[in-house]
């Protein structure tokens, strides 16, 4: 058995050249070391990059954010997968200030291609992550999509006071779990809705251990006694003013009936693949407002200072122990894996993710 | 043939005592002259009161605004029909300032019961209508529901510049026709959607004569060439940022695809009796906001000064010839009609209104 010495270890990326099922079109590509970073760019090494559901839609070609073709040195241009990731600065180009080798950075430009080992990136496309002992690589790698989505949805639409309620579906999603924790950190109560399942009480216990107040299934919403009496009791008859939706379809129609006057229903996903269908009377007579939230747009429409404040806020929550690592597993592409082996690993993982309800977030580490 | 002299003419109201179909439950009730108005109240005589679609829903008991039981002097308490109407002040109680006999007033409190001849009302529940030669009784009687709904929907959600487009369905409704005219007065362009019908081109001509820019049917929206190319040409590729909906259902789903980024879809009705059903992607990726508008809530949440400004603004539009009388017919309850005859007239009219598409607004005059 022989090792290639690390001095000559090449860089590697998970790439594709045409849209399609990720389990078909992805491959691993080893490319030659990059030149030193040009002015106002950074040479960064990715530590850990999530495989988010939206990444799959991007590769399928059905997501509004499109990646750009990238030339990795002498290779034909390719698309590099991945939108989110934590990287360490290795080298800074001329004119870069405020960022130094050893700093952690995350991407604030979408579809940069984070499933790779080493890239040169524009300094404006990344944000420094304040280091803290409590902040793990897993935390850092998941700070730019799900966690700020949860944070912003709780903050940007309705002014909520301690003790107020929020209702959400898909409560066991990564965003949902962040919602539970961030809401709890503010003294907000959460009514968490999930699909019915054999291990419901286990899941309910887990969500409550994160700080969730109550957990129900969508099926429970058919019970008018529950929605009219029990939920009213929980909320002391005060209408719930914020609903968060990543499901749509009929289960969200039922959820909307739990909302009180002047509520916002914020959608960030549609896992049912059904439209959002609501009685018009909720809008007219209960003054419901329905909006969407997309963290990608938030980055596009906010200043660097806004982004730095957001990042610091989220890191502070981690440091205070109020935001746990999401449940995850790590897929490692080892240095000694051939591109064939590495490509097969990623395609197999994608096939599993596409195949069904994969509870844990998968994070990619390219050694 | 004999006349009762007008000196002893009694007052009369269209009333009901239980919810039900207006063609069943309504009757005319003659009641004795009222006592002089108590302090801070007015004695008013209604000149003309619309029969609006929502009035029918109130009588059916399916509308969120509920009327109160009223004792008309020595009668058993009854509900008096009607929400909107123009009245003339006959006598003012002690402490009333700023309102004098001969003034015109409209109701800003909902469900006061306007289908009657003479009432005593709280001074806070009415608003003076500035008199102007061009302002007819029909104008005055229709200034508090449909016209301000159109005005507020065009003003309160999206900042529109001259030349910008608004799309609306139910464009031939009373609100729709007011939207066309108020939009035109501001230099806004309207894309007006109506049901397909044999006399479509006649209707289109009429809506254009009011100032409508383009008129299409819901069926036209199935034609992707039209929506992708022709509508894009009309709007110079600039996304439409305001949609007004009184239909909901699938035709509104199609309409929503005409909206550009950052648009508002404002609902004020649901004539299809179907829910409002929209792809979640419009909210997330196109930043669509969906809200409702209810003029009743507007009155509840705005100051008297706001209401006076609104009223003056609408009267100014009438005076400038920019707001025509809605198409209408007048149902007169003559002084010499017996209560039986009067009751039959109103029930027959209601049966006609319930039976189908009645193009014109019916206004009630109780002599």
pLDDT digits 0-9 by tens, B51-73 = 998 999 999 999 988 888 888 76
The answer to whether B283 contacts A291, with C-beta atoms less than 8 Å apart, is yes
- Residues of B designated catalytic: 63
3-state helix, strand, coil in chain B (%, to 5): 35, 25, 40
Cα separation, B48 vs B332, whole angstroms:
9
Which residues are CB-contacts of A201 (< 8 A; sequence separation ≥ 6)? none
Radius of gyration of chain B (CA): 22
- Facing A275 at nearest CB: one of B245, B277, B286: B277
Task: Choose from A246, A272, A292 for mutation: most chain B CBs within 10 A.
Answer: A292
For residue B330, give how far its alpha carbon lies from the nearest alpha carbon of chain A (Å).
29
Residue A72 pLDDT: 76
**C-beta separation of B121 from B45 below 8 A:** no
Q: Which chain B residue has its CA at the smallest distance from A149's CA?
A: B284
- Residues of A designated catalytic: 63
For residue B64, give how far its alpha carbon lies from the nearest alpha carbon of chain A (Å).
7
CA-to-CA separations, B232 to A136, B194, B218, in angstroms, rounded: 50, 19, 17
The answer to whether B285 contacts A245, with C-beta atoms less than 8 Å apart, is no
Cα separation, B99 vs B89, whole angstroms:
8
As separate numbers, helices (DSSP H) first and strands (DSSP E) second, chain B gives: 13, 17
* Dihedral over alpha carbons A307, A312, A315, A316 (to 10 degrees): -140
Question: How do residues B244-253 score in pLDDT, each as one tens digit?
Answer: 999 999 999 9
3-state class (DSSP) for residue B307: helix
What average pLDDT score do residues A169-178 get? Answer: 95
Judged against a pLDDT cut of 50, whether residue A3 lies above it is answered with no
- Facing B290 at nearest CB: one of A269, A283, A285: A283
- Specify the pairing of strand A189-194 against strand A214-217: parallel
- Facing B284 at nearest CB: one of A267, A278, A283: A267
Radius of gyration of chain A (CA): 22
Does the CB of A271 have a partner CB in chain B at under 8 Å?
Answer: no
Q: List A residues 62-91 in contact with B (Cβ-Cβ < 8 A).
A: 64
- Facing A279 at nearest CB: one of B245, B275, B291: B275
Question: How do residues A45-66 score in pLDDT, each as one tens digit?
Answer: 999 999 998 999 999 999 988 8
Q: Which chain B residue has its CA at the smallest distance from A284's CA?
A: B292
Cα separation, A117 vs A333, whole angstroms:
10
CA-to-CA separations, B100 to B92, B97, B105, B108, in angstroms, rounded: 7, 8, 10, 18
The answer to whether A280 contacts B64, with C-beta atoms less than 8 Å apart, is no
Residue A2 pLDDT: 41
- Facing A280 at nearest CB: one of B248, B283, B286: B248
The answer to whether B290 contacts A292, with C-beta atoms less than 8 Å apart, is no
3-state class (DSSP) for residue B362: strand
Question: How do residues A62-85 score in pLDDT, each as one tens digit?
Answer: 998 888 988 876 678 999 999 999
Residue A73 pLDDT: 67
Cα separation, B15 vs B29, whole angstroms:
7
Cα separation, B43 vs B22, whole angstroms:
27
If you search the block for the tokens 């959820």, which residue do you land on?
Answer: A255
Joined tokens for residue A292: 């969407």
Does the CB of B336 have a partner CB in chain A at under 8 Å?
Answer: no
Q: In terms of C-beta density within 10 A (0-12 exposed, 13-18 middle, 19 or more buried), how is residue A97 classed?
A: exposed
B127 strand-pairing partners = B106
Joined tokens for residue B333: 């309850």
If you search the block for the tokens 């009588």, which residue do you land on?
Answer: B59
Residues of A in contact with B268 (CB under 8 A): 284
Does the CB of B313 have a partner CB in chain A at under 8 Å?
Answer: no
Own/partner contacts of A231-235, CB < 8 Å, gap of 24 or more, are A231/A191, A231/A258, A234/A165, A234/A189, A234/A191, A235/A165, A235/A189
Does the CB of B287 have a partner CB in chain A at under 8 Å?
Answer: yes
Going by pLDDT thresholds of 50, 70 and 90, the confidence category of residue A6 is: very low
Residue B70 is given by DSSP the state B
For residue B300, give how far its alpha carbon lies from the nearest alpha carbon of chain A (Å).
13
Cα separation, A361 vs A174, whole angstroms:
8
Q: What are φ and ψ of residue B88, in 5° steps? A: -110, 135
Residues of A in contact with B293 (CB under 8 A): 284
What average pLDDT score do residues A282-300 get? Answer: 97
* Dihedral over alpha carbons A14, A17, A22, A23 (to 10 degrees): -90
Residue A348 pLDDT: 94
Judged against a pLDDT cut of 60, whether residue A1 lies above it is answered with no
Around B234, how many Cα atoms within 13 Å sit in the side-chain half-sphere?
Answer: 20
Mean of pLDDT over chain B: 93
A314 strand-pairing partners = none
Q: Which H, E and C letters describe chain A, residue by residue? A: CCCCCHHHCCEEEEEECCCCCHHHHCEEEEECCCCCCCCCEEEEEEEEEEECHHHHHHHHCCCCCCCCCECCCCCCCEEECCCCCEEEEEEECCCCCCCCCCCEEEECCCCCCCCECEEEEEHHHEEEECCCCCCCHHHHHCCCCHHHHHHHHHHCCCCCCCCCEEEECCCCCHHHHHHHHHHHHCCCEEEEEECCCCCHHHHHHHHHHCCCCEEEEHHHHHCHHHHHHHHHHHCCCCCEEEEEECCCCHHHHHHHCCEEEEEEEEECCCCCCCCEEECHHHHHHHCCEEEECCHHHHHHCCCHHHHHHHHHHHHHHHHCCCCCCCCEEEEEECCCCCHHHHHHHHHHHHHHHHHCCCCCEEEEEEC
**C-beta separation of A240 from A260 below 8 A:** yes
Judged against a pLDDT cut of 50, whether residue A241 lies above it is answered with yes
Which residues of chain B carry a pLDDT beneath 70?
1-10, 73-74, 356-358
The answer to whether A289 contacts B289, with C-beta atoms less than 8 Å apart, is yes
Residues in chain B, total? 367
Residue B357 pLDDT: 60
Does the CB of B275 have a partner CB in chain A at under 8 Å?
Answer: yes
Residue B10 pLDDT: 64
Q: Which chain A residue has its CA at the smallest distance from B63's CA?
A: A285
Mean of pLDDT over chain A: 93
Does the CB of B256 have a partner CB in chain A at under 8 Å?
Answer: no
Cα separation, A196 vs B24, whole angstroms:
47
Which residues are CB-contacts of A20 (< 8 A; sequence separation ≥ 6)? A59, A60, A61
3-state class (DSSP) for residue B266: strand
Q: Which chain B residue has its CA at the smallest distance from A65's CA?
A: B285
- Facing A292 at nearest CB: one of B267, B269, B288: B288
- Facing A292 at nearest CB: one of B253, B270, B284: B284
Residue A275 pLDDT: 97
Q: Which chain A residue has its CA at the smallest distance from B157's CA?
A: A289
Q: Which chain B residue has its CA at the smallest distance from A287's CA?
A: B292
Residue B66 is given by DSSP the state -
Judged against a pLDDT cut of 70, whether residue A356 lies above it is answered with no
Residues of A in contact with B276 (CB under 8 A): 277-280, 283
Does the CB of A23 have a partner CB in chain B at under 8 Å?
Answer: no
Going by pLDDT thresholds of 50, 70 and 90, the confidence category of residue A5 is: very low
Residues of A in contact with B275 (CB under 8 A): 253, 277-280
The answer to whether A282 contacts B293, with C-beta atoms less than 8 Å apart, is no
Residues of B in contact with A302 (CB under 8 A): none
Residue B201 pLDDT: 97
Q: In terms of C-beta density within 10 A (0-12 exposed, 13-18 middle, 19 or more buried), how is residue B65 classed?
A: middle
3-state class (DSSP) for residue B159: coil
The answer to whether A275 contacts B270, with C-beta atoms less than 8 Å apart, is no
C-alpha B194, offset from chain centre: 18
Residue B227 pLDDT: 80
Alpha-helix runs per DSSP H in chain B: 22-25, 53-60, 137-141, 146-155, 174-185, 200-209, 224-225, 231-234, 250-256, 280-286, 295-301, 304-319, 339-355
What average pLDDT score do residues A151-173 get? Answer: 97
C-alpha A52, offset from chain centre: 6
Cα separation, A135 vs A322, whole angstroms:
12
Does the CB of A300 have a partner CB in chain B at under 8 Å?
Answer: no
């Amino acid at each position: 058995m022989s090792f290639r010495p690390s001095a000559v270890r090449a860089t590697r990326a998970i790439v594709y050249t045409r849209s399609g099922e990720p389990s078909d079109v992805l491959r691993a590509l080893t490319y030659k070391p990059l030149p030193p970073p040009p002015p106002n760019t950074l040479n960064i090494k990715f530590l850990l990059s999530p495989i988010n559901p939206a990444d799959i839609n991007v590769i399928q070609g059905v997501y509004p954010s499109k990646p750009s073709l990238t030339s990795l040195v002498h290779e034909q241009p390719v698309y590099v997968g991945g939108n989110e990731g934590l990287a360490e600065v290795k080298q800074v180009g001329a004119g870069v200030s405020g960022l130094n080798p050893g700093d952690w950075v995350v991407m604030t430009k979408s579809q940069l291609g984070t499933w790779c080992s080493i890239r040169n990136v524009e300094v404006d496309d990344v944000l420094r992550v304040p280091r803290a002992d409590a902040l793990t690589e897993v935390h850092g790698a998941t700070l730019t999509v799900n966690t700020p989505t949860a944070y912003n949805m709780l903050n940007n639409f309705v002014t909520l006071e301690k003790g107020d309620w929020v209702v959400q579906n898909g409560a066991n999603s990564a965003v949902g779990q962040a919602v539970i924790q961030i809401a709890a950190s503010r003294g907000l109560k959460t009514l968490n809705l999930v699909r019915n399942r054999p291990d419901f009480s286990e899941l309910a216990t887990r969500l409550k251990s994160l700080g969730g107040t109550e957990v129900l299934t969508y099926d429970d919403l058919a019970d008018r006694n529950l929605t009219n009496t029990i939920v009213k009791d929980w909320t002391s008859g005060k209408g719930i003013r914020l609903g968060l939706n990543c499901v749509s379809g009929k289960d969200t129609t039922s959820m909307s009936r739990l909302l009180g006057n002047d509520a916002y229903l914020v959608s960030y996903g549609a896992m049912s693949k059904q439209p959002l269908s609501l009685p018009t009377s909720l809008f007219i007579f209960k003054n419901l407002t329905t909006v969407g939230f997309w963290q990608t747009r938030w980055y596009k429409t906010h200043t660097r200072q806004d982004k730095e404040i957001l990042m610091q806020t989220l890191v502070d929550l981690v440091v205070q122990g109020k935001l746990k690592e999401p449940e995850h597993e790590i897929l490692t592409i080892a240095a000694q894996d051939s591109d064939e082996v590495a490509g097969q690993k990623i395609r197999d993982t994608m096939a599993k993710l596409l195949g069904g309800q994969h509870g844990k977030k998968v994070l990619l580490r390219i050694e």
